[in-house]
Each structure stands twice: as C-alpha cells, then as structure tokens.
Chains A and B, each alone.
Chain A
C-alpha cells in the first residue's frame, strides 16, 4: 500500500527567506506525486506534479519540487516566501488505478 509522510506539522519562516517542506513516500513502483496548497476554508489548489522525466519539477507561484528516488522523497522548495504563501501544504501520492493518498499536511506560517 502506498503512503505519504510529512514529518513537519508546522513550519514558521520569515518573509523573504527560503522554504523547504519535506515529503517522503512509500510505494513499490514509480509513484505519481503531487503537492497541493490549501488556504483556510478553501479547496486544494494543485502546485505541481511529478509523473516521470525530469526530476526537478516547476510549479505555480514560484514553487519547485525534486523527486529523489533513492531517498523516497519529493520535497517542495521556494527560494523566497511571501506572506501570501501562509497556508496548509499537502503532499500526495497516486498511481495507476489507485486512489490518491495524502500526507497529514504541513502548516506554514510566515512572519514579517
């Protein structure tokens, strides 16, 4: 069975600082990996996804993620965060004919 671990429940970053959110997955074959962002009371917005090919994936809002098979990781990065990036971030893993499995989420707080 596939699973996702987001080890950081809450991260606080200063505005303008760099960000890395961790995601580790467990799956036997090549997974399909996603990062979603959710602002309070809102739905989930897709930031980026990895299916195959280039292991560095560019997404919206200046985010990127790198797939590292050897570490079973798909960490999300942004070089300089903005106050509007404060939200809940979910990593998810899927595969052919399997439902999407979400991590428990990481809440990002931005301080001025």
Chain B
C-alpha cells in the first residue's frame, strides 16, 4: 500500500481564522514533506520532517507552522493567512534513508483564503 491521505480535501478560511491540514501514512516512512502548488506550476517544497524532527524549512512564513506528532502523522497549522496563500497543499512521504527514496504524494488539500 502506497497511500498517503490528507484531510480536508477542500478548505475555505478567512484571513483571521486558524485551521489545520492533516496528513497520514502507514507505510513506515520516516520522512514527510509539505509542498505548496499554485495553478500550472510544479510543487514547491515547504518543510521536511525526518524521523519526526524538522530538517528543512524553505524560508516559509511563520503563519505556516508544521507539526509531526508521530512517525505517521504530519500537520500544517495555518494562522493569519493571506489570499496569495491559496493553493493546493500536498503532503508526501518516503522511507527517509536519504538514498534511493521514492516520494509518494497524497491527494492534496485545496485551500482558499478569502
């Protein structure tokens, strides 16, 4: 099974709201990723967790706050977002060996910020 699940599928929020995106995998993967994807563009890496520790933060604004409660779960907490943050947010995971790892992606959360 190579499934990564994400909830919710769609999210509409105001600029003052606080919301969270969730990602889950049960493949025993030890690296998990958040990507942001704008229309007609490739995914842009936001964060990487390796063995539940944040290993890469691609200079993402602090209104995005990642959390990795355990090896299967990854959250992205959202607060005071801007309309330009509207995008498809993708979660991915891989084995985390740092070698010939293949990333598997979830279906994404379509976020609209009003």
- A interface residue numbers (CB < 8 A to B): 32, 34, 36, 41-46, 49, 51, 88, 90, 94, 96-97, 99-100, 102-105, 107
Contacts and interface: CB of A to CB of B under 8 A. Distances in A.
A103 to B, nearest CB: 7
Main secondary structure of the interface of B (DSSP, over half): loop
A44 B102 contact: no
B64 interface: no
A88 B37 CA distance: 13
Contact of B43 (A42, A44, A46, A107): A44
Contacts of A41: 88, 108, 110
B102 A43 contact: no
B100 A43 contact: no
Contacts of B101: 94
B61 interface: no
